[in-house]
Structure 1
Amino acid sequence: MSAASARTPSLRARLFVLLVVPLVFVALASSVVRYWAAQDMSKDLYDDTLKVVAHAVAREVVLTKGDLVADALLDSLVGALGDPIFYQVRAADGRFVTGHSDAPVPSASLDVPGGTPVFFDSTYHGRPVRAVVLREFIADIDFDGWTTVQVWQTVTQRQALSLSLVGQSVFNLLLIVGSAAVLFWFGINRGLTPLTDLRSAVGLRSASDLRPIRRPVPHEVAPLVETINSLFARLREELDRRNAFIGNAAHQLRNPVAAIQAQAEAALTASTDSGRTARLDDLAQAARQLSRMSHQLLNFDIANEGRGDDLQPPADLTPLVADVARRHVPRALAAHVDIELEPAPEPLLVAGNRVMLEEAIDNLIDNGLKYGCAEGGRLSLVVERMGTMAALTVSDDGPGIPPEASEQVFGRFVRLSDDSDGGCGLGLSIVRAIAQRAGGDVDIVAVERGCTMRLRLPIAQPQGNGQSSAIGSMAAE
């Protein structure tokens, strides 16, 4: 397991937590609500019972003419309610009649209307109690008037009942949450089965098997599968391109390497100094050809990969062409070729990697000198604006290229004639790759004589931050 996967929880665990944690919070909230409801219910239940006891005490005292309530009645009441019961009866004139003389004293603001029981909380001998005060009008010779009956009881059983009800509720909620968690886990595992199948399908792919995934998946995962299939398609194309390039490169390099080996062996076996010198000259020439070929192979790979697309300020096309053409002046003079440069009347800024742009211009000029001006002549370089594009037109007065081969020459390792100078047919394909990477193109212009090639590059528009819009678009890609 990688460090990243160890830090990141699984999707299964994340879904489980997102489903179960809210359920637990709901259960806790329900338990709190249930606790308050249980307290209210036990309070109402015991208050109603306490009120009944107050009426029973009042009638018992009347019947017994002020005697104590019978022990059997008190025992039955305590057995029913669970907590000890205390009472006090006072006559209409406030005279103590029977019961406990140290009854809890209600607050002075407590209003006790006749015939209506009034409840209050208090303490009795340091223990919390619940009391009820009841005033009843009794027409009797001993109790003539409003007789006050006060009954109180400790609240231990009330609290026990509340806790019991809450405990039952919590147990039920825990049972529900536990059952739901098990069902959630089972459902998540079943719901994630398509993703597990997708993982298995991706795991079966390899560098030699990049077939698209055809397994049915949910609608939410379909865009991911489409993206994976698109990635597989691009990988297939890249692998095919790489394999073809490696095969062609190996084929092209085989002859120069064999020539170098043969020239080296011939130099070793030469019997005269002049013969050895001639063989060494041939060896040096073959090494230069191999160096040129390897350089072109590397540039072709860089141009196709876009590894030269690092952001640089836009450059004026005319100075670029002039700098590259200046390097070919000694060669042109030796071949009796006139190189003419017609600059643009205005700066034409083009975005891209300067080295790769110079490589494209160099290949165009080299192609013109090698094939169009092999026996002298004129090579024309024209820089101009064509709408939103900056164009470099390279014209020679050589034999030209047949119209049917105007696209073929931009392919890899394509040569229309035997190249004794060590070319490998990659120059124009490098130019096209660089141009297309920059948003332009290169093509052959139909002319009556010679060959004319035109390189077109988009003109970069300067922005307020000093960068160009073309650079910005490249960065967005």
Structure 2
Amino acid sequence: MSHAPARRPSLRRRLLGFLLIPVAILLVLDILLTYGVALGYSNHVHDRDLGNDALTLAKMMGNEQLGGELTPQARFLLQYDPNGDSYFSVVSRKYGLLAGNGHLPQPAQVPSVGAAPELFDTRMDKRPLRAVTLSEASISRPGDTLIITVAETLHDRHVQARSILLLAILTQALLIVCVLSLVWFGVTHGLRVLDPLTRRLARRNQELTPIGGPDVPQEILPLTRTIDALFARLRGMLALHDRFIADAAHQLRTPLTGLSLHVERALADPDPANVRDALTHIRRLTQRAARTTAQLLALTRAQAPSTDTVEHVPLELTRLIPEAVMQRVHEALAAGVDLGYQGPEQTLSIDGHAASLHDLLDNLIDNSIRYAGRGSTVTVSLQARPDGGANLMVEDNGPGVPPEMLPRLSERFFRAPGTSEEGSGLGLAIVQRTAERHHAEVIYQLGEEQGLCVEVRFPPPRVRNSPVPHPETPLAR
């Protein structure tokens, strides 16, 4: 069953959504506010007209020529309404209802004679009304007071408010359409600022140079900087890949050439002694090629971009270092080298990567065993520093190297002059790169008597209690 492809997110839709949805909400709020203002204005106008009607009716009732009575014409005008929604009443305090089309409810407190009309809300026959009442002295009936009340329903008020709202909405709708058109044009035109960056990227083939430039908008600078950082890492990885190929070709050319020569020698002369000698050389060259390949891989791992935040964890050196030394004891005995360990009794830890640290120590020990020579002594020691860090030292009493050569020991493929042992010249380079990944410092110096001492100074872990001086154990042989 085929599935429709997922809709790809759109920056334009997202921007328009962020703009249009609030505008729509504001439109609804504006309609409600406009209706409220229009209704308030309509109430104000109708209340004023209602008060004027009450005052007019009071003047009619106080007209001496009318004698306190309404003419049929005046009664018709007061009672006339197309919807039949107008009411009035004239009530005498002495004689009760004198005129009107209904006995309207009175307010809680009737205003006194000469006071301003009193507006109030009431109901009659379950219909809400807006009413006004006032008091007037009767001329035709001395000593009597007339309470005049005029009321109307709220229908006309709402009709007028809706008319005002309709006029306002038409104007505002036209304005909103113009605003939305400007927003659409602004978003579409504003996104064109990305076109130069897009064209610049489209013109690239396999270039990994930075894409940032003065025409990149400030808002997408974090994106371009992230892409540039990615390109930088890719350039580093590609350079590391090319370097690995070049190093492999450089280091494997000699053993592979030797393998080819000894194979041809064995094939040319089938004498068992010659074949055995050729196989011996083939085995030695194979071991050399395997070790060189392993060191090249280790150097590549050490030179790869650091991921300290993921890889580095607390490591207990007082456990890892002795275990790594023990694994090389049999090889040291076979080479006629006395390999020992010296370290603190209490725990000493750093932040690091166990496999990389094992490669570091393995190359230090291998370098000492290989170049110190038969009958020499190699000592691996571990010391705590007052600042909470740790010092790892590998010292031998072999022939050592000239002092002027010490700064070059960490170079790739460098071998001190006069060395007869076979090697790739990569061991101390691996040590240097691994130490850098652990933010450690490597110091090369001559031994106390003779030979070489390599010291790796590790920084203290991120969280650590104040270190306490530890007594050292005697040499383990």
Counterpart of 2:72? 69
Measure how far apart 1:289 and its partner are.
1.8
Partner of 1:378: 376
Q: Which residue is equivalent to 1:423? A: 423
Report SS of the residue matched to 1:313. strand
Q: CA deviation at 1:326?
A: 0.7
1:329-340 alignment, distance < 5 Å: 329-333=332-336, 338-339=337-338
Is residue 130 from structure 1 mapped to residue 133 from structure 2 by the alignment? no
Tell me the distance in 1 between the aligned counterparts of 2:355 and 2:174.
72
Q: Tell me, yes or no, if the aligned pair for 1:117 and 1:134 is still in contact at 8 Å.
A: yes
Q: Letter of the 1:294 partner, please give it.
A: T
1:276 and 2:279 matched = no
Pairwise mapping of residues 14-93 of structure 1 onto structure 2 (< 5 A)?
Answer: 16-60=16-60, 62=63, 63-65=65-67, 66-70=69-73, 74=77, 78=81, 84-90=85-91, 93=94
SS at match of 2:395: strand
| Compared CA separation, residues 428 and 441, structure 1 to 2 (3 A) | same
Contact 1:83 1:153 (8 Å CA) reproduced: no
TM-score between the two structures when normalised by the length of structure 1? 0.76
**Paired AA for residue 146 in structure 2:** T
In structure 1, C-alpha distance between the alignment counterparts of 2:353 and 2:149, rounded to whole Å = 101
1:166 aligns with 2:165: yes
Find the residue that maps to 1:301 and give its secondary structure.
helix
The alignment partner of 1:410 has SS state of coil
Q: Is this contact kept in 1: 2:439–2:458, CA < 8 A?
A: yes
SS in 2 for 1:328: helix
Rounded to whole Å, the distance in 2 between the matches of 1:349 and 1:90 is: 106
Query: Which structure 2 residues correspond to residues 195-274 of structure 1 after superposition, within 5 A?
Result: 208-211=207-210, 213-217=212-216, 222=221, 225-226=224-225, 228-268=227-267, 270-274=269-273
Give runs of aligned pairs for residues 332-371 of structure 1, distance below 5 A: 332-333=335-336, 338-339=337-338, 341=340, 343-344=342-343, 349-351=348-350, 352-371=352-371
Q: Does 1:326 align with 2:329?
A: yes
CA distance in 2 between partners of 1:33 and 1:160 (Å): 16
Q: 1:238 to 1:378 in 2, by over 3 A?
A: same
**What is the letter of the counterpart of residue 291 of structure 1?**
A
Contact 2:130 2:152 in 1 (8 A): yes
Q: CA deviation at 1:161?
A: 0.9
Provide the residue aligned with 2:457 in structure 1: 457
> Is the CA contact 1:289–1:421 (under 8 Å) kept in the aligned structure 2?
no
Structure 2 residue matching 1:392: 3-state secondary structure: strand
What is the distance in 1 between the residues matched to 2:135 and 2:75? Answer: 25
Task: Report the CA distance between 1:300 and its aligned residue.
Answer: 1.5
Aligned to 2:472: none
Query: Over residues 156-178 of structure 1, what are the superposed CA-to-partner deviations in whole Å (9 max), with x where a residue is unaligned?
Result: 21121122223444444444444
- Find the aligned partners of 1:342 and 1:98 in 2 and give their Cα distance: 123
What SS class does the counterpart of residue 414 from structure 2 fall into? Answer: coil
The residue number in structure 2 matching 1:391 is 392
Cα distance per residue 1:410-429 (max 9 Å; x no partner) = 22233456988763221111
Please give the alpha-carbon distance, in whole angstroms, between the structure 1 residues aligned to 2:463 and 2:145. Answer: 100
* Pairwise CA distance, 1:22: 4.8
Alpha-carbon shift at residue 390 of structure 1 (Å): 1.5
* Conserved? CA contact 1:415–1:425, under 8 Å: yes
How many residues are paired up? 450
- Segments of 5+ residues of structure 2 without an aligned counterpart are 1-5, 466-477
Secondary structure of 2:105's match? coil
CA distance in 2, matches of 1:106, 1:209: 89
CA distances 1:314-335 after superposition (whole Å, capped 9, x unpaired): 12276256415413233323xx
Could you tell me how far 1:37 is from its partner in structure 2?
A: 3.1
Matched to 1:159, the amino acid is H
After TM superposition, give the deviation of residue 94 of structure 1 in Å: 2.3
After superposition, what is the alpha-carbon deviation per residue over 1:324-380, rounded to whole angstroms, capped at 9, x for unaligned?
A: 5413233323xxxx425362465573533444334333323332333342xx44234
AA of the residue aligned to 1:441:
E
- Name structure 1 gaps, 5 residues minimum: 466-477
Is residue 349–residue 459 contact of structure 1 (8 Å, CA) maintained in 2? no
Cα distance in 1 for partners of 2:357, 2:86 equals: 105
Given that residues 348 and 390 in structure 1 are in contact (C-alpha distance below 8 angstroms), is that contact kept between their aligned partners in structure 2?
Answer: no
Partner of 1:407: helix, strand, or coil? helix
